Structure 1
Amino acid sequence: MNELTAIPTTTAKDWASDQEVRWCPGCGDYAVLKAVQRTMPDLNVAREKTVFVSGIGCSSRFPYYMATYGFHTIHGRAPAFATGIKLANPELDVWVITGDGDALSIGGNHTMHLLRRNLDCQILLFNNEIYGLTKGQYSPTSRIGTRSPSTPFGSVDRPVTPCMFALGSGARFIARGIDVHKNLPEVLKAAHAHRGASFVEIYQNCVVYNDDVFAGFTSREVAADKQLWLKAGEKMLFAGGTKGLALDADRLTLKVVDADDPAVITHDPTNKGIAGMLIELPPEGFPVALGVIFEDPRPTFESAVIEQNVAAAAGKAPDLQKLVSKGQTWQVEKEPRDL
């Protein structure tokens, strides 16, 4: 019996703290919080061995609402805190909660190094393509033309694609979900089952400063045609199973074909090249790739550090005094003072 099939010993209510949840009415953060609280019992993990770490932003209230250990840290530095926590106690189950502004602006450097090191943790990046907590300025993921207090004439920046950033940083697990979608818990379970840094981008609607920015693929009218939920070993089909993706061998890109076309690709999460194509599918004429896009495990950072420390200490007896006295030492004699 593995951790995903074990009989839950807790309920969603057990994972909810006694703190009043305070986000704007209708915020997508509520849905993500509920999805996480519903998911935790199925993971069969202990609350006292679980830690949620956040930086600064609307999403960073998250640790207050989980009945676990938690750290609400400083802007962009949640990955650094998470690294210290995991190295100090590798048995802890560490979750990093962050936003597009927190993780990809001031925290971009820290996020990159956590991913390349492959620390065993889950990173949930809430992407609403705007700075919400600081009242609606454009963020690293805001689209060209976004009007905000800091870009009154429209942003001219080319936005960051979070999953491509993760892929380029060496992440070994990359997935996408939608705040209110029923499949989000399954994505979270897959991220938790992966040993190493799991990067999950969650499209999250900001009802105040960027409402319906994802409506082009999340609204009920277009969802079936514009969402491609990937499953390992299954064909890449969407539009109610009538369309699929195939490789255009001449251009080395993906193309849309009819579902009965034998060229329809079967999803292989270990294929990094196809993963990059899926992440950057053009918005026109293509669906948005969701679910687990890339997964190719490798040894974790903390396991390598522990192994190195064990090897360094082999055959040695701890002797603090000997260590302090090593090398040049001297003693300062106190001179009598003339009175």
Structure 2
Amino acid sequence: MSTLKYPALQVKQGNKIIYTFTANGKHILDFASISRIKRNEEGTLEGYQRITVSKHIDDIANYLDSDDAILTNSIVICFDDHVKFEPLDEASGFGHLIIPGSEEKNGWIVDGQQRVTALSQIQKDDFNVVVNAFITNDAHEQKEQFILVNNTKPLPKSLIYELIPDVDVEVPKALADKRIPMLLIQELNSRKDSPFYKKIKTHTNPDGIIKDNTLIKAFNHSINDGILFNYTANIITGNMEADIEGMVSILYAYWGAVSQVFKDDWKLQPTKTRLTHGAGIIGLSFVMEELIHQIGEKEFYIAQDFLPHIENLAEKCSWSSGQWDFGNGVVREALEIQNINKDISMLAQYLMSNI
């Protein structure tokens, strides 16, 4: 690709600078790429874009090829610092954005990946679109901008959840509350000796069987009112400093015991067992708190601390077959328990009363 030179407007917004220019939609993928979210072999998160949706792209392309098509939404691109802005004069916000010619692309699409993909497929040769761009080499800032730009749009929740731990930007409280649980999920899902290794369903691990949102709820219960609170600092003021390794150690020990005692059910989808189902995970997370209260706080827990208690509980559980006898004439088939507050509360109370 040869060097590209676009007339552009430089706009200062606080301590940030953005550049606005127009470009032929068919050519955007010549200098900007789509950074798809994935995890490498070490479990580190790379990229930040959602998976493309072919039908959605086809629908956009068909519309853009129509005679009356317009595209008012801008494309947002992050460039690295090889891209330069040359003002017409020192006092002017007008100038040219210079994109160097190279085999490697210097831009990543922060917002508009579906539109850009559709634009690359249309029959028209001269469909210009508005591009807003910023320049940074910081991958964290790219992800921060992606979250902020897309926060009000219908992105998959699991995608946003996975990105949150990797950025420092201030996000709405509803998302901020998921930062520490998602850090825990990342660690538990990626470590080969973890009882949760590749078992948690996330955007980058769609084959997992335990929903990330289920564990977010379970971990937040403990962070706010349970043992994991002891591993946070200044949580009340919102300064979320946490001993993630300390939390992981406890979760390894307890859920390691659970996975040993219920090893057959631990392998099953939640449609076939209530152990990996939302009700089972939440219910057993309350059991963890009760057992720690009985055992007493320790500097370090191991699975053996919990195994005798879980083995005793196993005789009273009907995760995948049989019936739950909740007392007072309330009997439910094993798989009738639903992921609703009433059922979760009933199961949790039953489990805690039988340890």
TM-score (norm 2): 0.25
TM-score (norm 1): 0.26
Higher helix fraction (1 or 2): 2
